[in-house]
Chain A
Amino acid sequence: MAHAAASAEGQQHPVKLYLVVWGWLFVLSAFSYSVDYFHLQGYLRWFLILLLMALKAGLIVAFFMHMAWERLALIYAILIPPVAVLVFVGIMVFESDYTLFMRETFFRLGQG
């Protein structure tokens, strides 16, 4: 284990940082829940849901999972491949639109 010394004591960060991130996660979750509680609808609802989701995910990955202090080589190795997921989402949006179009075109006949 020639490299063990490099990470022997791991990462040390002040407890306060964790408490602040923890507090923010609670606040953001409360906001997320409020979106539903106050029956926000339409684009505002979707925008807020995605924004709060991204903020919470970012806080967890960056601070709780210590990604903010890792070297760029690891950050890119882990965070770039999920971009392919977004491409997949795009493909399936087109696919579902097409399926819906076909269903509405051909299945409406029997339903009246």
Chain B
Amino acid sequence: MDATPTDTGEALARPAGWRGVAADWSSDQRAFKNVSWGKAMMWIFLLSDTFIFSCFLISYMTVRMSTTVPWPNPSEVFALTIGGTSVPLILIAIMTFVLISSSGTMAMAVNFGYRRDRVKTAALMLMTAAFGATFVGMQAFEWTKLIHEGVRPWENPWGAAQFGAAFFMITGFHGTHVTIGVIFLLVIARKVWRGDFDQEKQGFFTSRKGRYEIVEITGLYWHFVDLVWVFIFALFYLW
């Protein structure tokens, strides 16, 4: 069901700005002109995921603003003792840098994908996956430490009981996203490495020819995971 009948305008210059918005959305045609369905669908999925994470962060805001008990100080809760001195929030800072590094390698992977550089793309995707796995590992360490210290979704030793519920829900859901991203990256990196997109091999699931664009779509998901962490870092850990 391709919307080709009205598609006479690809050769004509399309209007930009507000006129472009109206022209692109109107008259029963493909709305996203130079974006494939795969990329458009990933964007729309990410929009829906934005709402999910927004709901978690808004719930967190609501319980934190409405409790009469003091909120535990994240700076102290997430401090680590290194060489005898307590460094505030250090593990979270390292996790942030790990995730930003992974975003950088992912952006480079997308770039080399479009240059059809099979080996560099696969290698950079594997690096991204390794950074992601490191992040999840550090998160597991953080959870273990907090659970040993007595943090539960219904209580903790330092203050408002809602702290644990918000913490486990938000970071747990984000960690799940990172884990899924690592698996997604490994699957696509394997295909890139095998040369599926150079030979235009058909995928086992969709029976469509794969293209290097899937690297960019994977990248969109991965950058989104980093994006969500930016918000969690600011609003949960730093606030």
Interface set of A (CB-CB < 8 Å, partner B) = 2-4, 6-13, 15, 18-19, 21-22, 25-26, 29, 32-33, 35-37, 39, 45-46, 49-50, 52-53, 56-57, 60-61, 63-66, 70-74, 76-78, 81-82, 85, 88-89, 92-93, 95-97, 99-100, 103-104, 107
Contacts and interface: CB of A to CB of B under 8 A. Distances in A.
B103 interface: yes
A82 B66 CA distance: 24
Contact of B33 (A50, A64, A73): A73
B162 to A, nearest CB: 12
A99 B100 contact: no
A46 B239 contact: yes
Given A29-B96, A71-B35, 8 more contacts: A6-B34, A22-B107, A45-B238, A53-B231, A60-B230, A71-B24, A73-B31, A82-B50
Contacts, number: 177
Interface of B: 2, 4, 7, 10, 14, 16-18, 20-21, 24-25, 30-36, 39-40, 43-44, 46-47, 50-51, 54, 58, 61-63, 65-68, 75, 88-89, 93, 96-97, 100, 103-104, 106-108, 111, 113-115, 211-213, 216, 219-220, 223-224, 226-227, 230-231, 233-235, 237-239
B54 A88 contact: yes
Given A9-B114, A53-B234, A60-B223, A26 B61 contact: no
A25 B100 contact: yes
A73 B24 contact: yes
B230 A78 contact: no
A65 B24 contact: no
A64 B31 CA distance: 23
A65 B47 contact: no
A22 B114 contact: no
A15 B106 CA distance: 12
Given A60-B226, A66-B216, A82-B50, A99 B66 contact: yes
Contacts of A10: 113-114, 212-213, 216
